[in-house]
Amino acid sequence: DIQMTQSPSSLSASVGDRVTITCRASQDIDYFLNWYQQKPGKAPKLLVSDASNLETGVPSRFSGSGSGTDFTFTISSLQPEDIATYYCQQYDNLPWTFGQGTKVEVK
């Protein structure tokens, strides 16, 4: 199985701050990476697919980049409604696997 290592596991930032989350794959997954946002009690919501493709309706402050083994997810200006846990997921090889998650909180 491909292991996805996500960091940090949690972070606290102020409204307006730039937030960056990283995800590293245990082997080359090309660009086959999704980023999800999960709010408490809700199902995960797909924000970014194919490493950098922003889903329709997702605010432009969210972005993703990277390929191969190293990926980055960025919130350019943190908003109060962005409080959530974010997960990366590789879909290059079955079984698809998730990172451990990054809990984002507001200071």
Partner 1 sequence: QVQLQESGPGLVKPSQTLSLTCTVSGGSISSGNYYWSWIRQHPEKGLEWIGCIYNSGSTYYNPSLESRVTISVDTSKNQFSLKLSSVTAADTAVYYCAREPELWGQGTLVTVSS
| Closest distance of CB 75 from partner 1, Å | 20
Return d(Cα 90, Cα 33) in angstroms, integer.
5
Stretch that binds partner 1, among 10-18, 21-29, 40-48, 71-79 (CB under 8 A): 40-48
From candidates 44, 66, 82, 86, binder to partner 1 by CB under 8 A: 44
Q: Which residue's structure tokens are 């984002």?
A: 104
DSSP string, 14-55: -TT--EEEEEEESS--TT-EEEEEE-TTS--EEEEETTTEEP
Contact between 57 and partner 1 per CB under 8 A: no
Neighbouring residues of 43: CB distance < 8 A, sequence distance ≥ 6: none
Contact between 98 and partner 1 per CB under 8 A: yes
Return d(Cα 69, Cα 79) in angstroms, integer.
29
| Closest distance of CB 85 from partner 1, Å | 8
Contact between 70 and partner 1 per CB under 8 A: no
| Site for partner 1, rule CB under 8 A | 1, 34, 36, 42-46, 49, 55, 87, 89, 91, 94-101
